[in-house]
Amino acid sequence: MKKYIKSMAFFLIAIAVLLVIYFVIRGMRGVVGEDYVRGNLTAPAQRVYDYAGVLTASEEEKLEKLIAKREGQIGCDIVLVILNEPLSSYAKAYEDVLGHLSESEYVMVYADNFYDEYAFGYNKPHGDGCVFVDNWDRSDSAYGYAYNWLSTSGRVESRFSTSMIDHVVDEVNSRVNSDPYEAYKSYVNNIYSYMSGHGSPGRFVIPLYAVVIVSVLVAVFYLIGNLTKNIGARTTASNTYVNGGKPKMTVMTDHFISKSVTKRHIERSSGGGGGGGHHTSAGGHSHGGGGGHH
C-alpha cells in the first residue's frame, strides 16, 4: 500500500506543477500590452480612412476607439482604409520597380504605399503594425470582384503566417457586404487576438475550470484504478506449488522456426515559420500580407 501512496503523491505533485505553470502563463497573458510605450510620433493619429463613405460617423468613431484600445494592448498600429476607385493605373505606374502585377495585387501596392507614406508603426516609423485596404470598386476585375489586402510590417509581419492572414481577410469578406462595421471590427479584434496570443482565432483555449476538473478526475481515476489492481492482484503463480518454488527443466533445446523482418518508413514532418507574403514595397520597406475579394 505504501508503494501506491508514494506513486500517487508523485502524480499529484506533477499535476500541481502543471497547474502552477498554467497560472503563470495566464497571468503573463493577462498583462499583455501594459509595458508598451509608443515610440512613433510621426504617424498621424487617425486610424480609419473611409474614402468610400461605407461607414456612418458613429461607426467610424467606435472603430477609432476600439483600435486605440487594441493598439495599446499589443503595441502595434492598426489602420483601416476603405476605397471605391479603380487602382489599375495607379499600381501599373510601379511595375518598373515591382514587376508585373495581377489585378488582385493592385490594392497591395496601394496598401504598402499608404503605410509607408504615412510612416505608420507603433514603435517607430515603418515599424510594428498593419493596414487593411478594402476597395469596393469592381472595374479593375475581369470577374467583378472587389479586392482587399492586409499589409503587415515589423512584429506583425514576423508573427503572421499565411494561414493567419487568410483567416483575417476571410472573416472580413464573409460579412462585409451585409455588415461593413462588424466586418471591419472583426479585422481589428483578430489582429489583437493573434498578436496578444490571448484567445487567438482558431486556437483552442482551455478554461481554468476545465484544467482543475480534469486534473481532479485523472487523480481520482488513477487512485481507484491502482486500488482495484491491488485488490485483484494474483496470489498464486505457475510455480506456487512446485517444490522449492522453482521448476526443474530436465531438457533445454532451441529450435529455429523462421525469420521475419519488417521494415517501416518513419514519416518526418517539415515545419514552417511565420510571416506570410514577404515582399519589398516600392518604397523599399519590408512587408508581409495577403488579400482576398468579395
The pLDDT of residue 19: 53
Residue 16 lies in a domain: no
In a domain, 166, yes or no: yes
Q: What is the pLDDT of residue 166?
A: 97
For residue 70, being part of any structural domain is answered with yes
Domain count across the chain: 1
Beta pairing, strands 147-153 & 129-135: antiparallel
Determine the pLDDT at residue 45.
98
Is 195 contained in some domain?
yes
181 within domain boundaries: yes
The residue type of 154 is G
Domain span at residue 189? 34-209
What is the domain-level CATH number for residue 98? 3.10.310.50
- What average pLDDT values come out for the chain (294 residues) when binned by 10 residues? 57 57 46 73 97 98 98 98 98 97 97 98 98 98 97 98 97 98 98 86 50 63 62 57 60 50 32 63 97 98
9 inside domain: no
Within-domain flag for 87: yes
| Position 199 in a domain | yes
Find the Cα–Cα–Cα–Cα dihedral 97, 161, 77, 138, rounded to 10°.
Answer: 60
